[in-house]
Chain A
Amino acid sequence: MRLSPDQIIYWQLGFFKLNATIVFTWALMLLLAGGSILITRKLSMDLQRSRWQNLLEIIVTTIEEQIKEVGLLQPRKYLGFLGTLFLFVAAASLCTVIPGYESPTGSLSTTVALALCVFVAVPLFGVEEQGLGGYISSYLKPTFIMLPFNIISEISRTLALAVRLFGNMMSGAMIIGILLSITPFIFPIIMQVLGLLTGMVQAYIFSILATVYIAGAVSAQTPRPETDTTH
């Protein structure tokens, strides 16, 4: 019984092992990047558009709207990071319909890497928006007693991001594997559909949580405009 695609090793050179996680991660990266390059070579501004350009425009504008709804008022700035997170996780779980494919997000290494990206990006965006002092003083809110708890929450939420995605993906793959060995052949397909749904929900949740964390870091200090209700 395998817990993760890390244990499938295609090729080995000394201490470097080329496992299935690396292979499928690079395949997904090639698919996303190559597809985007192919589509954006011939962009048109008039009403005659290719279907692919329409698809990309829908994706980009939807992700922008979602980021704006969370409270980040300049979504273009964060679109690259958050959109890439969403598209990668979503593509990783959507491709599970391909036979022989193992989702790279079903390995703890991939999910920890993605969560570490969020862990590093949140302070960067926060410092960029409100300066170093402003961001660090947000840890001292509401009082300085909360400082250790704020730091602990920062670390534990990163861990939770990683383990949540990994657990969902791994459990999906494992349940299908167990069912294939004990049930007839139609029932695993139903579970696979359920797995696709969970994968999309997890992709949404991962990116929306990253957005919420960034929004919290960016707007922790900015005073809200007080609505005057005395008139």
Chain B
Amino acid sequence: MDSMTIIAIVSIFTAGITTGFGCLGPALGEGRAVSTALSSLAQQPDAAPTITRTLFVGLAMVESTAIYCFVVSMILIFANPFWNHFIAQAAGK
């Protein structure tokens, strides 16, 4: 196995694992947040605007962790610096 194959294998594998684990945590967290927001809405319908706004801000915070994982896996597959480096080296030979 030359270095390009190893880099390809590791990149694709890591991208999949990254997205998988990166979706797991935020999904659980967002589910808990939404369920808590729903119960508080049922208890306090008057506070609906405040609860909704805080929920959205919190969801954005949680969501951003999933987005980070997604961005990392996209970089690994489509814009991998090591990958480009070795392709340039192979073209230079």
Are A and B interaction partners? Answer: yes
Alpha-carbon gap, A40 to B12, bound state (A): 54
Q: Is the beta-carbon distance between A209 and B60 smaller than 8 angstroms?
A: yes
**Does any Cβ of A come within 8 Å of B27's Cβ?**
no
Q: Which residues of B contact A87 (CB under 8 A)?
A: none
Q: Is the beta-carbon distance between A163 and B60 smaller than 8 angstroms?
A: no
**Does any Cβ of A come within 8 Å of B86's Cβ?**
no
**Does any Cβ of B come within 8 Å of A139's Cβ?**
no
**Does any Cβ of B come within 8 Å of A59's Cβ?**
no
Binary flags per residue of A188-207, CB closer than 8 Å to B gives 1, else 0: 00000000000001101100
Within 8 A of B (CB), among A160-191: 160, 163-164, 166-168, 170-171, 174
Q: Is the beta-carbon distance between A205 and B67 smaller than 8 angstroms?
A: no
- Count contacts on B: residues with CB < 8 A to the other chain: 17
**Does any Cβ of A come within 8 Å of B53's Cβ?**
yes
Q: Please classify the interface of chain A as helix (H, G, I), strand (E, B), loop, or mixed, using the class held by over half of its residues.
A: helix
Alpha-carbon gap, A205 to B64, bound state (A): 11
Q: Is the beta-carbon distance between A163 and B74 smaller than 8 angstroms?
A: no
A164 and B57 in contact (CB under 8 A), knowing A3-B74, A174-B74? no
**Does any Cβ of B come within 8 Å of A1's Cβ?**
yes
Alpha-carbon gap, A171 to B57, bound state (A): 20
Q: Is the beta-carbon distance between B71 and A163 smaller than 8 angstroms?
A: yes
Q: Is the beta-carbon distance between A1 and B57 smaller than 8 angstroms?
A: no
**Does any Cβ of A come within 8 Å of B30's Cβ?**
no
Q: Is the beta-carbon distance between B53 and A163 smaller than 8 angstroms?
A: no
Q: Which residues of A contact B79 (CB under 8 A)?
A: 3
Count the A-B residue pairs with Cβ separation under 8 angstroms: how many? 45
Alpha-carbon gap, A141 to B41, bound state (A): 33
Alpha-carbon gap, A178 to B60, bound state (A): 25
A171 and B67 in contact (CB under 8 A), knowing A205-B60, A209-B60? yes
Q: Is the beta-carbon distance between A1 and B60 smaller than 8 angstroms?
A: no
Binary flags per residue of A127-140, CB closer than 8 Å to B gives 1, else 0: 00000000000000
A212 and B57 in contact (CB under 8 A), knowing A3-B78, A160-B64, A164-B64? yes
Q: Which residues of B contact A208 (CB under 8 A)?
A: 53, 56-57
A1 and B71 in contact (CB under 8 A), knowing A164-B60, A164-B63? no
Q: A160-B61, A164-B60, A205-B60 are in contact. List 12 more A-B contacts (CB 8 A).
A: A3-B75, A69-B53, A164-B63, A167-B70, A170-B71, A170-B74, A171-B70, A201-B56, A204-B56, A205-B56, A205-B57, A212-B57
The residues of A with any CB-CB pair to B shorter than 8 Å are: 1, 3, 69-70, 160, 163-164, 166-168, 170-171, 174, 201-202, 204-205, 208-209, 212
The residues of B with any CB-CB pair to A shorter than 8 Å are: 49-50, 53, 56-57, 60-61, 63-64, 67-68, 70-71, 74-75, 78-79
User: What are the 6 closest A-B residue pairs judged by CB atoms, nearest first?
Assistant: A167-B67, A205-B60, A164-B64, A1-B78, A167-B71, A160-B64
